[in-house]
């Protein structure tokens, strides 16, 4: 029997005990996708390519909306740019993500948490702004694909549907056949929180930097952890659910 002592473990246990399905954001709660790489270089490559296609004014680096590669994709889609160009940017971003899986750093305790939840009968899914194939490649490499049973719900070609839009979470609920009230989301951003809240899904924040923790707590996230260890201990104390 697992001895649950810390307040964060008790709160996590209450949330996990009511969940039949746990949704993970990918980059952060599962791994650090771009560890060993410079995300700003990826952003610059996408901006440069879009500029070469005639959209230099739209993606100029001084525009705050283009601070990272995902907002480049989202904003291009939102500003009426040629859909062919937007789709090409998405494919280039997916290639960058695919290459990054080779050096992605696993989040401490994530593998064990995923396996423990699966072993205790919880359905597991990824709901992410990343492309699906890079996520699957990473999960296969870590021996985690079976636990997810194909439940990876990544971005579509429409950048307007990136989180905080709840599209990928909605698809995960439909595919797993679970209601929002019996689902739990683990994410590391306000966008994750907004997407979960839009559907009424309980949420646990993951933040390893004090500034991000403060941001999530100030945003009304009731439980923010800087390690997945309390969640792992709580998961190990769960009563098993029968397989669907």
Question: pLDDT tens for residues 117-135?
Answer: 999 999 999 999 999 999 9
Average pLDDT value for residue range 182-196: 97
Q: How far is Cα of residue 206 from the mean position of the Cα atoms in its chain? A: 11
Q: How far apart are CA 232 and CA 115, in angstroms?
A: 10
Q: What sign does the dihedral 77-82-83-87 (CA atoms) show?
A: negative
pLDDT digits (tens, 9 = 90+) for 81-97: 889 988 999 999 999 99
Residue 231: what pLDDT?
96
Tokens of 40: 């700003």
For the entire predicted model, the pTM comes to 0.92
User: Does 8 score more than 90 pLDDT?
Assistant: no
Tokens of 220: 């009304």
Of 157, 156, 158, 159, which is closest to residue 75 (Cα–Cα)?
A: 159
Cα–Cα distances in angstroms (integers) from residue 211 to residues 171, 185, 218, 226, 241, in the given order: 31, 21, 10, 11, 37
Of 121, 146, 112, 104, which is closest to residue 230 (Cα–Cα)?
A: 112
Mean pLDDT is highest, among 49-53, 180-184, 237-241, for 180-184
Of 127, 34, 42, which is closest to residue 92 (Cα–Cα)?
A: 42
Domains of the chain: 7-33+105-236 (3.40.50.1000), 39-100 (no CATH)
Q: 1 falls in which pLDDT band (50, 70, 90)?
A: very low
Of 138, 64, 44, 67, which is closest to residue 99 (Cα–Cα)?
A: 138
Average pLDDT value for residue range 185-195: 97
Residue 184: what pLDDT?
98
pLDDT digits (tens, 9 = 90+) for 191-220: 999 999 999 999 999 999 988 899 999 989
């Amino acid at each position: 029997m697992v001895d649950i002592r810390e307040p964060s473990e008790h709160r996590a246990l209450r949330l996990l005990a009511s969940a039949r399905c746990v949704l993970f954001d990918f980059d952060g709660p599962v791994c650090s996708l771009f560890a060993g790489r410079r995300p700003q270089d990826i952003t610059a490559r996408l901006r440069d390519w879009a500029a070469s296609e005639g959209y230099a004014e739209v993606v100029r680096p001084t525009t705050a909306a283009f601070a990272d590669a995902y907002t480049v994709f989202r904003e291009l889609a939102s500003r009426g740019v040629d859909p062919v160009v937007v789709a090409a940017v998405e494919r280039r971003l997916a290639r960058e993500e695919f290459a990054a899986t080779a050096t992605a750093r696993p989040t401490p305790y994530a593998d064990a948490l995923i396996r423990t939840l699966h072993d205790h009968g919880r359905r597991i899914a990824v709901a992410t702004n990343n492309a699906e194939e890079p996520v699957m490649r990473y999960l296969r490499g870590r021996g985690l694909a079976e636990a997810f049973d194909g439940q990876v719900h990544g971005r579509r070609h429409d950048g307007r549907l990136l989180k905080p839009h709840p599209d990928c979470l909605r698809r995960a609920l439909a595919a797993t056949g679970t209601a929002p009230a019996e689902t739990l989301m683990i994410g590391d951003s306000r966008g994750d929180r907004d997407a979960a809240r839009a559907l009424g899904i309980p949420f646990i924040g993951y933040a390893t930097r004090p500034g991000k923790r403060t941001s999530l707590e100030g945003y009304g996230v009731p439980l923010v952890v800087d390690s997945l260890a309390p969640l792992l201990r709580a998961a190990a104390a769960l009563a098993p659910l029968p397989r669907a």
